[in-house]
Structure 1
Amino acid sequence: MTVKMDFEECLKDSPRFRADIEVVQSDVIELETRLEKLVKQCQAMLDAGRVYCQTSKSFVSGLRELGHPRSGDKTMEECLEKFSKKLTIILDAQGEVIETTQKAVKMKLQNFVKEDVRRFKDVRKEFERSSETLEGALARNAQAPRGKQHEVDEASNGLLNARKAFRSEALDYVLEINVIEAKKKTDILMAMLSMMEAQAQFFQHGHQSLSELDEYRRKLAEEHTQFVLNAAREKRDMEQKHAAIKKKDVSYDDSIMDFNADAANGIAMEGYLYKRASNAFKTWSRRWFSIQKNQLVYQKKFKDQPTVVVEDLRLCTVKPSSENERRFCFEVVSPSKCCLLQADSERQQQAWISAVQNSIASAFQERREDPHSPRQRCSSVSVGSLGGGGVDQQNEGCKALEEIQAIAGNRQCCDCGEAGPDWASINLGITLCIVCSGIHRSLGVHFSKVRSLTLDSWEPELIKLMCELGNTVINRIYEARIDEITIKKPHPSSPRGDKESWIKSKYVEKKFIQKLPETGRNPPLRRSSGRRNRATIQEQNIQRPPLKPKPNRATLPRVTGLNPSDLLQKNNTSFHKDVDEEQEDLSGLHPGALLYRSAALQNFPVMADALAHGADVNWVNVAEESSTPLIQAVSANALAACEFLLQNGANVNQADSSGRGPLHHATILGHTGLVCLFLKRGADYNAKDKNDKDPVTIALDNANADIVTLLRIAKMNKEMREMDGAFGQSGDDTYHDIFRDFSQMASNNPEKLNRRSADPKS
């Protein structure tokens, strides 16, 4: 222990001793003031710390609630759960630091002030009292007269007792000074050491807890970067869509009405309708109607139990109602009651009537079918339009199903591998199970157009398109890098969430396609010759040719080297022979130009690959009279290639620099099957080129009777539809018969059309 004052010095009671006493007293008073202030500050810190911990725990509780499993975002749930757990651990450790500070710092310092400093003050008072007594005894002893012995003795005894008492108190005071000096060092240092140790343990514990999340934080940072990129891309796409939609007429209020008998949720049709009450007041109420489980039901709120309007759709009929003063009304009549409903528009009225009719037909069809044999549901027409030729059309539908499933890989779902898929994506050319088809439908038609192989109608050109691609070909494009990425492909029993995540990564984000740029892989490509070479194509590695620096569009060479007028002087057989023998290196083309070239070569895998890499389906080659991939496919008389481009968003009316669209070129070249296809896909038969000639005039100039007939019938059919109104016939039956015949010939017997085009008199 350090001795601040000497005991011998205190016995002398010298001026030096008195000076040291004053210094010590001043130091103790200052120490007491500072310690009291520090204790108050420590208490304030502890109170604030407890409030902080309590508030932080409330914040962590909020994080846990934000990451509740019902949020549906697994990444968010996992992130918030992990972080909240670590924060809870850190806050618990901080609570321990607060308690340690309470015990080791505040209590010790407070005890030092209350006990040691108070005891020092008490001893100092006794010392000062004995010092004053000694001063008085000394004064009396000095004043005692020499002649008065009893006073001298009394003064001497008083002085002796006073000096004895003073020296005892002085020794006690010096001892207390030395003790408090020593305790000041030990207690304060021990308190600070305990606090530093607690803080060190707290920060080490917190660092260790957060260090366990290092790998997860790096992974989350990468995902966040991807989320930012995706969000920016989606924002750009949404802004473009928003701008495009704002340019259109948005004054109407017609909802999109889709009937889907095989919807995954069992709801074939749903939407708002007004319903007239059966009471005496005949009031109208707006309710949410739906067709599900062969019943027509409605509800006011989502949580309400649906009210059944029609128990069994097979026992009812539907018809428009014109007797009511309200517009857009129709009746659903059953043996027990009649329900009067009102739609918001004429289009919605027609859609609901068709939906109820289709549901009635579907209910009867399911009744006739064997529930253990879903394949018996094959039909090539919509379930509300069965007519006299229904049996033949059903047979054609079954044949189409068998033909499409015969393509390599098509007997299993393209995305999860489930056997016997009876759904298809017509723009991708793949077959799907019912679960994956529902996910594809949710992506939107700009990504995937879903159709049933058993219930929907299938035109010959669609069947031909499906047979040109297939699951094996498309998976070699969209899953080209699957071995390089540690993402497991779902299987038939995988949860729907896993399948949905996989499909979005595959077709929307395109994570597994071959990235650009690439190195040389493929030799120069030749035109694929349809079904004859399909097996060869599927055995090849369907990957893009090597890419070189992007060429200037103005320098792109022509594929065929022939103008449309020159093609009239060549017969169709020699033209295909020239294209088959022609070979062109496509390795240096960017996606748009690659789609342009492969469309002329009818190489479907390369066309699909170009679209997967972002090719603009309406890409314009300014060096070739602003020709498009669709016009290139017309030049090659590639029916399936044209259908493929149209299903992927090609503009059927986009004209070249001469003002000629695909219909003009098909008419000039005498491709009757393509003319039929374009008319069915909405081509404008009145459009004129720069020579002021429309397709009819061109067909008359070329003496092509078949094309003239198709154009005139299409025009007559449109006029009949406009004249008959919304509930009239959809056109002349002759129109449907002739177009169906031409579609069949163009897809299955194109040589008949070639002969007839070459010799109009035959």
Structure 2
Amino acid sequence: RLCVISCVGVDGERPAFVVSLHNLELSAPNKSERERSLVKLCIGMIDAGKAYNAANKQFVSGIRELAQQSTKDEVIEVNKKQPEAKKQFDKVSEEKEAALIKNAQAPRNKQHEVEEATNILTATRKCFRHIVLDYVLQINVLQSKRRSEILKSMLSFMYAHLTFFHQGYDLFSELQPLMKLLGGQLDQLVVDAAKEKRDMEQKHSTIQQKDFSNDDTKLEYNVDADNGIAMEGYLFKRASNAFKTWNRRWFSIQNNQLVYQKKFKDNPTVVVEDLRLCTVKHCEDVERRFCFEVVSPTKSCMMQADSEKLRQAWIKAVQNSIATAFRDKGDEGEKLDRKSSTSTGSLDSGGEPKERSLKGESALQKVLAIPGNTCCCDCGQPDPRWASINLGITLCIQCSGIHRSLGVHFSKVRSLTLDTWEPELLKLMCELGNGVINQIYEARREELGARKPQPGDPRHEVEAYIKAKYVDRRFVRRPSDEELRNKVVSLSKQEKRLSSSSEHLPPRPPPPTPKLRPGQAGHLCFLSGLQLYWAACARSLPDMSEALAHGAEVNWVNTEDDKRTPLIMAVQGGSLVTCEFLLQNAANVNQQDAQGRGPLHHATMLGHTGQVCLFLKRGANQNAADIDEKTPLTIAVDAANADIVTLLRLAKMNEEMREAEGPYSQSGDETYQDIFQDFTHMASNDPDKLNRYQQYDPQRP
């Protein structure tokens, strides 16, 4: 306790110190109560020992008194004999008395009566003496036995004491070094406590004499700090509301971001997402002193330090953080710039470099152009800068953090301005959007009377709403079996029309009209899985999202259609975006149908080069063989599809290169990556150039 309190002299305003002091105040009463209880128990042990010693002394005194009385006890008193022996002794005594009386009364002139009385008296006397001897012997033996038992018990008691005290002596002899050590620590604690008291008194006197007009907290920028926080301290922040109020907050620079906390235990609020996009400058045109401003492309933040020294320290820290971020990420940024501005053997006939990924404002503009995307999907905060790529929605910074906490099986968060966006992923975002998803996940919100969060609401309220919306799916409308059945039939018919109107899809038998097996008509999971199945083939992302919201399994197997999955049906539908959507929602890229063919097999057979490229990037097993022992490469060679053969062989070579380089190798050869990005871009933007389909014939030699 003294060690914590002594920190006041260093920086008593730090939030961590205030929280530690608060926790100490809460725990101090409990600790004091336990300490007092332990002292009472110790005193009780001492009192019990004293009582034991007193009782032991009384016991020894009783033994001494008994021993003194035993030395004087030489005569055995008759009244101590046993009851049965005494009765026999009394009877024989009475018989002897009667014989004596009869003998005295015998007349002289009757000789025969005299002889008879004499004989009776003689026999009675003889019997009396035998009885007396037996009685006395019995009493002596009993008395001797009692004395021996007492002596034996006393001797056992003394030996037990001897053993107890001997063992106690041995145990405490072993503890003697520890007792000496504890005694030394006790003396040192007393000395330290006295010293702490003197030091605190000295600090009190120093504080009274010290001038606090220039008492600035020492701040240093340390990029290698153990906790990842390069710098932290208190600053005043000007609010962005109409009143322009100033609030004191605890700011820190960490992970190349400027964040602040209202309370120490609150989650940090991000002021600047990436300091590399910012600049910092002095502000002399405001009424307050020691102000500076951090300016980003989208907003600015005005802050005030406690002194000019601290202002300079913060400005230097922000500048150092910007420089450090550019130095650490310069190589990566150079590599990305080089990849996005050059093309290694473009597959486009024009031969000009083409953009293969979108980043920053380009992706932001395209996604925000979708209706409803200009505000956060969950709280309505304008100008969102984050997205959930498996849901297809835009989010503000606070809601994106909550979505991350849900786990990637519910939401995968990506930045609209800082991350790189593949064309197929960008199209996925554009085909869904906040309006479509909210129609699904908030269909019953008003009916249930649930309030949608607003910008500025407490985080815990927003978090509770998001969990109810996406995890519990509380606001999703549950359709009836008849509605789902009609939806499935409509999607299957829509897929037939798409197949018949497509010039690039190979001829295949029309899909069977979905038939529900007996007993399954009321099963929502079965119907939802069937909806996802046909929606994937019909290339309808809103219907697929609705099916997942109803609980459809993304890897659902249609046992009535050759055990095909929604991902295989997405391949049949020929849509790259549909495949991307299923993969983002954890579809298994290697799940096979009844013929042993996975999505890569089907994409190869249909000549869908973009899908082949997508599946290879997602780790599809190109060595898997179907029931005809055909691998995707064998099928591509038989169909004479040069593009897919090239992709499969490049992927195989890249895999072998990674295995040769060891387990810590990177993603592979850069040329391989460039070629795959060219195929992906062309499949998304110019699919006609890749639709060089040739019917696959299994019987072809």
TM norm structure 2: 0.48
Greater radius of gyration (CA): 2
